[in-house]
């Protein structure tokens, strides 16, 4: 069965510091992987996605993620965090063969707190 694990429930970093949010998945084939960000009481905004090709994916707001098949991971990174990055981050995996339109399975989420 598909599953997504975000090992870190809560992370606190100082503004300007680098950030890495971990995501591990369980899947039977090449997954479609996503990172979303959610501000309190809001919907989800897509940061980036991986379908195929280059395993280092660039996203919006200076985020990037690297797909590592051998580790079943898709970690999200940002070189320098801004206070406005404080939010909830979700990693998600798409159903096999679905392209853009299969259902997504979400990880538990990681709450990012940014210290001034």
Give the angle subtended at the CA of 107 by the CAs of 94 and 67, to the nearest 5°. 60
Q: Minimum Å distance from CB 108 to another protein?
A: 5
Q: Minimum Å distance from CB 9 to another protein?
A: 9
Q: Minimum Å distance from CB 57 to another protein?
A: 13
If the CB atoms of residues 15 and 38 are measured against another protein, the closer one turns out to be 38
- Give residues in contact with another protein (CB under 8 A): 34, 36, 41-46, 49, 90, 99-109, 111
| CA distances in angstroms from 100 to 57, 88, 92, 103, listed in the order given | 17, 23, 13, 9
If the CB atoms of residues 1 and 29 are measured against another protein, the closer one turns out to be 1
Contacts of residue 99, Cβ cutoff 8 Å, sequence gap at least 6: 32, 51
If the CB atoms of residues 70 and 100 are measured against another protein, the closer one turns out to be 100
Q: Which residue's entry shows tokens 């985020």?
A: 63
Q: Minimum Å distance from CB 96 to another protein?
A: 15
If the CB atoms of residues 17 and 60 are measured against another protein, the closer one turns out to be 60
| CA distances in angstroms from 113 to 19, 54, 55, 98, listed in the order given | 11, 30, 27, 34
């Amino acid at each position: 069965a598909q599953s997504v694990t975000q090992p870190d429930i809560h992370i606190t970093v100082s503004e300007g510091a680098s950030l890495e949010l971990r995501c591990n998945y369980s899947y039977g084939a090449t997954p479609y992987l996503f990172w979303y960000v959610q501000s309190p009481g809001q919907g989800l905004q897509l940061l980036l996605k991986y379908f195929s090709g280059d395993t280092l994916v660039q996203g919006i707001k200076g985020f990037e993620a690297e797909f590592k098949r051998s580790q079943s991971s898709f970690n999200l990174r940002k070189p320098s965090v801004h206070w406005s990055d404080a939010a909830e981050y979700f990693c998600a995996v798409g159903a096999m063969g679905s392209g853009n339109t299969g259902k997504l399975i979400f990880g538990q989420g990681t709450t990012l707190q940014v210290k001034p």
